[in-house]
Structure 1
Amino acid sequence: MRQILLFLSLFLLLNLPVNAQPILSENAKISIFTCSPGEELYSLFGHTAIRVIDDSLNLDLVFNYGIFSYSTSNFAYKFAKGETYYRMGIQRFRNFIDEYISDKRPVYEHILNLNRQEKQEMFNFLHINNLPENRVYLYSFFLDNCATRPRDVVEKILGDKLSWHQPDNSYIKPMEKHWKYKEISQLHNNWDGATFRTIIDIYMPKNSWNKYGICFALGMPTDTTADKYHAMFAPDFFMNALENAVIKRETGYEPLIKTKPIYYKPIKLYENIDPQPYILPPFQTFLILFVIVLMVSIYEIKRKKHFIAIDVFLYFITGIMGCIILFMSFFSMHDFVQQNYDILWANPFNLLFALLLPFKKIRHYTLTYQYVIFFISLITALLWPFLPETLVNANLLIVGTILVRSIVGINVLRRNETA
C-alpha cells in the first residue's frame, strides 16, 4: 500500500503544470551526480545526472538526460547515421543510485552552492525540460550529451555570475580516490595540445576491440585541440570543472561546490578492462594474419602459384570497411567522423575489385588497379606517422598485408602476360 501511495505521489508531482511546481524550502539541495564508467559500450565514458532533494516536501528526484532505448526500430542504422535520440527522464534517487551500486560503479555527488531563488529556478527549468515537447533531443557524443546538458542548465541559471576557473587561474585536482585521478591531473598539467582523442583514450582499454571500433569510426576532427570547456563532454571532466568553478556574489567569489563530494562506493569496484579478454586483441590478430599472409605469399612467388581466395577475402573486408567510412563521412550526422584517413587503405573500390577477381577472363584487366593499390599502400605506410589523423597502429599491419598481396598480384599478372 505504501508503495502505491509513493507511486501516486510521484506521478501527480511530475504531471503538475510548471507554474504549479512545489516551492522548495530553504534547506533544499541540488547536486550533480558523476557516475563512473561501466562495462557496456554505452557506459564506457561514465554518466552525469542532477539530483533535487527537499526533505520537507518528501522530495528526492534525479533528472537524467541519458535515457535511450535499444528497442527503437532500426536502432543500429540510426545510431550509425547519427539519428540517435536521447530523452530526459525523472527517477527516484534510491532507484537511480541502487542501479549504479549494483553495477559496481562508484558515484560522486557534488552539492551546488545555490541560493533559494537559484534552486527554485533550476527546479522549474528542469521540469520545463521534461515536458513532452522538450525532453527528447538529438544526441551528439562530443557536443550534446548527458554531461553537457547539466552543464548548460548550470550556466542557464547562473549566467554571467558563473566562471569555470578560479579567479587566480589556479587548478584544483580531482580527489585522489577518483578512479582516473592520475590521468586527468597529468592532462591538466600538460593541456596544450590535448585533443578530443586524448580525452577519450583515457577511458578505453588499450588494444581492445571497443577502442578499435570507436577509433576506426572517428575522423580527423577528433585530433583537433579540445579546450577545457569542450572537454566537459566527458562526465569526469565536467565534475572536475565543477570543483574549479566559482560564483561571483556581492561579497566576492564563492565556490560553486558547497561541500566536499559525497562518495557512494559499491562493495566491489568495476575494473576498467576489456570485457572480452579471452578474444585476441586487434594488434595481435592483425600481426598473426600478416605473418601468415607473408609466408603464404613468399611460397606463392617461389612456386609460381596464386591463392586467389586470400585476395578476395582481404579486399572484400577492406572494401566493406571503406564503404562504412564513406557512409559515415557523407551521410552520418555524427560529429567528428568526417575526413577519415583510414580510407587510404580501406578503399570502397576494393569491394568491387574483390567481386571481379574470381573471374579469370577479366582478371588480367586488374593489373592497373594492383599498381594503384601498391603505390597507395606504400605511400600510406611511409607517411603513417605524419598523417594529420592519429590512426590505430594495428591498421598499419593491414596496410602491410595489402602491400604484400598487391606485390603478389602484380607478379602473377605480369608472369601471365609474358607466358
Structure 2
Amino acid sequence: MIKKLVLVFIAAIAIHGYGQQGTTSPYSFYGIGSLKFKGTVENRSMGGLSIYTDSIHVNLRNPASYAGENLETWGDESRPVKFAVGGSYSSTNLESTNGSANATSSTFNYLAINIPLGKFGFGFGLLPYTSVGYKLESIDANDNIENQFEGEGGLNKAFIGFGYQLAKGLSIGVDFQYNFGNIQNGIINYQYSDGNPINYQSKENNRSDLSGLNLNFGVSYKTMIDKKLELVSSLAFSPESNLSSKNERSISTIALGTNGGESIRNTIESDLTASGLDETDLVLPSKFSFGAGIGQPRKWFIGAETTILKASKFSNDLFSNNTETSYEDAVSFSIGGFYIPEYNSFRNYLKRAVYRAGFRTEETGLNIKGESIKEFGISFGVGIPVGDARLLSNANLGFEFGQRGTKNSNLIQENFITLQLSLSLNDRWFQKRKYD
C-alpha cells in the first residue's frame, strides 16, 4: 500500500512540476476560463463518456461510482482501494484569417483515492476545473498594436464524496466540492507618437480570488438483460451555486523592452469599493448529464451520454466589459466504448489490455460576435496492465484530435492534439483471514 501511495504522489508532483500552464486557448479570456476537467483518461479516451463504472477504475464525474459490487476473484469479500493520478500535454495550432501560430501546454489533471467500506464507499481528491492562459493582441487600421491582453490562473476543486449501494446494481452518491483559485489579467493600451510607440505605456492589472462550495449528485444502475448483455445507465446533477470573488485592480506605468519585457515604473491601486466591485458573486451554473449503454462485462461496451450546462451566467463582473460576448446554455454529446480481447489471458499481455475509442461534440456556451463557439474531438486510448495481475492495476494512455472555434468574424480556430497519461492503481486493504 505504501509503495502505491508513494508512486501516485511522485507521479502527481512530476506532472504538476512539468505542467506550468493548463491552456493556451484565447477563448480562456472569457468568464472563468476554459473548462479543463472533462473526466479521467479512461473517460476521455472514450469521447468523454463517463457512464461506465466498475470496481477497478476511479470515476470522478459520478460519485455513485464510489460504491459497487465486490470482486468475484476476491471471493466477493471486498473491492480494491483505488488510486488515480493523471496529466496531459496539448499541442495547438491557432489559425485566423490573418495568420497562424503554434502553442503547447501541459498540466496535472487529477489526483484521487476511492476507499470501499462494505456497501458504502468514499473518495477524495484534487483537480483543476477551469484554466486561463492567453496572450492576445488587437491591431488598428495602421497595423499597429492597439491593445495587448494576457491572462493566467483558473479554478480548482478539492472534493470528498460518498456512495452507497441501495441494491444490486443500483448506487447513489454525492460529492462535496470546495472551489478555489484566482484569475489574473493585464491589458496594455498602446499610445503612439508620429507612428512610434511612446516610451511609457499604461497597463491595467486585474486579479480575482475565487472560492465557494457546490454539490454533485449521482446515480448509477446496472442490470443483466440476458446471460451475456448488461445494460448500464447513469445520471449526475450539480445544482447552481455561488462563488465569492475578491477583486483587485491597479494601473501601472511600464516601459517596454526590445525583447517584449516589461519594466514597471510606478503603480496606483484602484478603489473598487466605490464602484461595488471589490467583492462580487459569480454564479457557477447547474449541470445535468445522463446516458446509457450496453455491453458484455469484462469484454466490450458501447454507450452515449449528453451533458447540459446552464452557462448563461458564466462571467465575472470585474471583466465583463465586452459587449460582443454573450453566454448561452452549453450542450455536449459523447459516444464511445471499449474492447478487451481476453481479460484473463495471462499468456498474452496484449489480450488483457483495454482498447478504447470515442467521439464528442460540444456547444461550449460562449457566443462571440454572433458566433457560437463549438468544439469536437475524436479520441482513442489503451489501458495497459501493470504490477500484480490479481490487483488489476493499469496505466492508461489516451490521444485526442479535435477542433475548437471558427475563423468566421475574424475569430480564431484551434486545431489540437492532446496526449493523456494516467496511473490507476489498486490495492487490497480489507481481507478476511482464513484459518485451517
TM-score w.r.t. length of structure 1? 0.21
TM-score by length of 2: 0.20
Greater C-alpha Rg: 1
